[in-house]
Amino acid sequence: MQIKVVIAGCGGRMGKILLECVAQADDLVLHGALEHGGSTLLGNAVAAGVRISADIESALQGADVLIDFTRPEGTLHHLEICRRLKVNMVIGTTGLDAQQKAKLGAAAQDIGIVFAPNMSVGVNLVFKLLETASRVLSEGYDIEIIEAHHRHKVDAPSGTALGMGEVVARTLGRDLAKVAVYGREGVTGERDPSTIGFATVRGGDIVGDHTVLFAGTGERIEITHKASSRATFALGALRAARFLQVNEEGLYDMQDVLALK
């Protein structure tokens, strides 16, 4: 039995890749495709019997899962409707604040939600590797996170970079909100060894590069992931959709999906 998928923001960069990946999957079928009310794409056919719509209520009727890589305000609006209609969600939206994330947890009492700053299988393996590296390199190593994305990305640091920082901070018993340094300029003084630094690059069509640098005396350890295609994120999202089809209500991440916990 095929999983009925609705894609939010289907006209965007990620949305287009998701449409292609769903079309190529034997166990998934496109049930609906959503865009905002002012989109010039409304009414365009994207699959047999499926046209791009702004009517989320109609699009979700009979659906199994909504895949959402939009923006926080849109995702939270979709969340309310999915919860009411009992439609699961795969959320790759970045830039959500603590209060918005809490709303995901509340909705997960009624529906299944996979929420991850990055759906890539490789990135989520890196998260696991960072736990080990952080434990081994807990003393004597300065930690910096460098990320690069295309010129159109609207939030910084990326959700993935922040996710990496959270993994490292949690493993080291630190509060990322207290130890993160997001920019340096002028006379900053010596580096506080407890801090975790972030550097952001924006330019061109970079899909997504992330490096966590552990800099010690006489050596550097770098754990790097480079994405060359958004298909890696889309394929991870489809794995998440399959995961929700066989799991109960709750808030999950890609570590759950990939059985890395």
Answer for the pair 228, 211: CB distance below 8 angstroms, yes or no. no
Residue 31 designated active-site? no
Helix runs in the chain, H state only: 13-24, 56-60, 72-85, 98-107, 121-136, 159-172, 176-179, 231-245, 254-257
Answer for the pair 16, 9: CB distance below 8 angstroms, yes or no. no
**Which residue in this structure is represented by tokens 């992330």?**
210
DSSP helix/strand/coil, 179: helix
- C-alpha 144/C-alpha 255 separation (Å) is 23
Sheet containing 208-215: which strands, arranged edge to edge?
180-181, 196-202, 142-149, 208-215, 220-227
Q: Out of 31, 149, 210, 225, which one is annotated catalytic?
A: 149
Residue 194: which residues within 8 A CB-CB, separation 6 or more?
Answer: 174, 179
- C-alpha 55/C-alpha 78 separation (Å) is 11
Nearest to 124 by CA among 59, 210, 195, 244: 210
Residue 78 designated active-site? no
- C-alpha 67/C-alpha 89 separation (Å) is 6
Strands 180-181 and 196-202: parallel
Q: Out of 16, 103, 128, 153, which one is annotated catalytic?
A: 153
Catalytic residue annotation? 149, 153
